[in-house]
Amino acid sequence: MTLTFDKNVYGSLLVEIQPKVVETEEENEKYLEIIEKLMAEKNRTPEQDALLDLLVILVEKFEDEHYQLGGSTPQSILLHLIEARDFKQEDLIGVIGSRGVVSEVVNGKRGISKAQAKALGEFFHVSPELFI
């Protein structure tokens, strides 16, 4: 079912955001922030939904081209996300466990549990399936 929306309102959103093909990590982060804000909106309008769909497609295209995950392990994905976001192991304390647990997970001495995968997915704003 296709919802109708006000083209003028949608046009105003497009002028405000000025979406384009994502070419840099900074643009990707900017769009991720906008996506997060739109997703948090309790009463999104059809125009906001259309903008959200567009931004998700643009971010997915960029990430598919720049984040080759084929053959990656959950630990290597975690390491990549930590590095890409300029985080440290300490930033994961409380997200997936104590300092010791975080160290063991990051260093590959301990696997990532389903609960930890879910927490990491929420923390990094990615699918928990990446860590399973």
The pTM of this model reads 0.52
**What six digits make up the tokens of 9?**
């309102």
pLDDT tens sequence for the chain (132 residues): 455 789 999 999 999 999 999 999 999 999 999 999 999 988 999 999 999 999 999 999 998 888 765 567 888 889 989 988 889 999 999 999 899 999 999 988 999 999 999 999 999 989 899 888
Contact status, residue 58 vs residue 30, Cβ threshold 8 Å: no
